[in-house]
């Protein structure tokens, strides 16, 4: 199923070339990715992050309504696509490991891995994905919660010097407070509440949909 949305990268052509090589041609986005943007500029202010998050929520809601889970929401998979003279816009990219649940009559038959690799990126991957359980739309919302934290602080919510420590942090620890972001205390508390709900270990305690998460983000002050 093709996804057509203002905040999802357009796929222009899918085909097969000589030598049994398959290709996927997508629109060229000017960029940078949000990960690169943070590397260049440091942590971003809430007034800039908020509208980008709302666009991502719209994109995810569009995909989820079509029963497509992205599996790898992170700053490097969100790319700016606006020119310097217009309102900043972004698009969600890299649906390469997304899965359409409708393709499988039995949900248990759907793959958890590709060529032995877990579906997702450590640091943004939900606890259920790390445990080898089935990912659903709430796993994408977990990745978005981790992305929000990264954009506002310049670091991941869970960090460790080694892989076992990283896994332990993801499975058992709560994200740190947002003490160093420049917003009003009430807004900071609201942002923390959104992040902490998105990063709940139990997916049933997270937002029920990207649309619900978007409404919570939109209700916060933008300055």
Catalytic residues: 72
Q: And the tokens for 14?
A: 């899918």
Under 8 Å between Cβ of 139 and 128: yes
Q: Among 1.10.510.10, 3.40.50.620, 3.30.365.10, 1.10.8.60, name the CATH number for the domain at 28-218.
A: 1.10.510.10
Q: Is 100 exposed, middle or buried (0-12, 13-18, 19+ CB in 10 A)?
A: middle
Distance CA 63, CA 208 (A): 14
Spell out the per-residue pLDDT of the chain, length 223, in tens: 568 899 999 877 777 777 778 777 778 898 899 999 999 999 999 999 999 999 999 999 999 999 999 999 999 999 999 876 678 999 999 876 555 554 444 444 444 444 334 556 788 999 999 888 888 999 999 999 999 999 999 999 988 888 888 888 888 999 999 988 989 999 999 999 999 999 999 999 999 999 999 999 999 986 5
Q: Which residues of 128-153 are buried (b: 16+ CB within 10 A; e: fewer)?
A: bbeeeeebbbbbbbbbbbbbbbbbbb
The pLDDT of residue 84 is 65
Torsion angle, alpha carbons of 194, 198, 203, 205, to 10: -10
pTM of the model: 0.87
Q: How many CB atoms lie within 10 A of CB 47?
A: 13
Q: Do 101 and 135 touch, CB atoms closer than 8 A?
A: no
């Amino acid at each position: 199923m093709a996804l057509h949305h203002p905040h999802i990268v357009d796929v222009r052509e899918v085909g097969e070339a000589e030598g049994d090589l398959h290709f996927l041609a997508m629109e060229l986005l000017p960029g940078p990715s949000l990960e690169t943007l943070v590397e260049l500029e440091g942590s971003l202010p809430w007034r800039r992050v908020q509208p980008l998050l709302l666009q991502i929520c719209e994109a995810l809601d569009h995909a989820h309504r079509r029963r497509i889970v992205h599996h790898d929401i992170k700053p490097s998979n969100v790319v700016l696509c606006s020119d310097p003279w217009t309102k900043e816009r972004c698009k969600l990219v890299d649906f390469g490991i997304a899965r359409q649940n409708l393709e499988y009559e039995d949900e248990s038959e759907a793959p958890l891995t590709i060529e032995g690799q877990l579906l997702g990126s450590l640091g943004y991957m939900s606890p259920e994905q790390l445990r080898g359980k089935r990912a659903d739309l709430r796993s994408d919302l977990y990745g978005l919660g981790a992305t929000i934290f990264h954009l506002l602080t310049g670091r991941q919510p869970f960090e460790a010097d080694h892989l076992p420590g990283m896994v332990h942090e993801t499975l058992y620890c709560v994200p740190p407070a947002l003490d160093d972001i420049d917003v009003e205390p009430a807004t900071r508390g609201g942002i923390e509440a959104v992040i902490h709900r998105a990063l709940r270990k139990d997916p049933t305690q997270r937002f029920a949909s990207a649309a619900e998460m978007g409404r919570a983000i939109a209700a916060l002050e933008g300055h």
